[in-house]
Amino acid sequence: MVEDEDLLLAVLNSSPVVDGAVTEELEGAAGRELVARFGGAGTASELASVRRARAALHAVIRGQDDAQEQVAAMLRNASLVPEVTATGVRWELSAPADERLAARAVMAWSRVQQELPGRLRPCANDECNLFLVDHSRPGTAKWCSMAVCGNRMKVRSHAERARRGA
């Protein structure tokens, strides 16, 4: 598993569609709890930075124009600093505290793109706002959740075939 992949998916999937409306999980207590799981402090500035990173990553993954510049902006104040240990060199992220989680999410996106090319994608359900990293051997996963979106889409497909057959 790619380092920080859980953080990346938590950030990407923090604006799910509930009852047909996009919701926001990066505000208030829910937002503070989400970032705390990944070492964040939950300040208003940090949550705003993570929301900007989410918007930029959504745009680049969906192939929107100028999305790469939006993602690059998330790393302007970040750098990797080498730390020499007994086992070799380890690279530590240096970034302002309120931008660190956003930078980690962007770096995790980059690692997924490099290590699992084509495996990070939006859910195939157009009414869903979630993403998945496909770890299946054939690389054919389509839905964020087989139990929710996969089942829903299969039921729709079956109903459509039944209508055409009738």
SS (H, E, C) 75-119: CCCCEEEEEEECCEEEEEEECCHHHHHHHHHHHHHHHHHHHCCCC
**Please, which residues have CB within 8 angstroms of residue 19's CB and are 6 or more apart in sequence?**
none
pLDDT tens for each residue of the chain, 166 residues long: 678 999 999 999 999 988 889 999 999 999 999 999 999 999 999 999 999 999 999 999 999 988 999 999 999 999 999 999 999 999 999 999 999 999 999 999 999 999 999 999 999 888 888 999 999 888 888 878 766 675 555 555 555 666 777 6
Name the strand (E) or helix (H) holding 131: strand 131-133
52 φ, ψ (degrees, to nearest 5): -65, -40
What are the tokens at 156? 């729709």
Which residue reads 């790469």 in tokens? 68
Number of residues that make up the chain:
166
Angstrom distance (rounded) from CA 21 to CA 26: 15
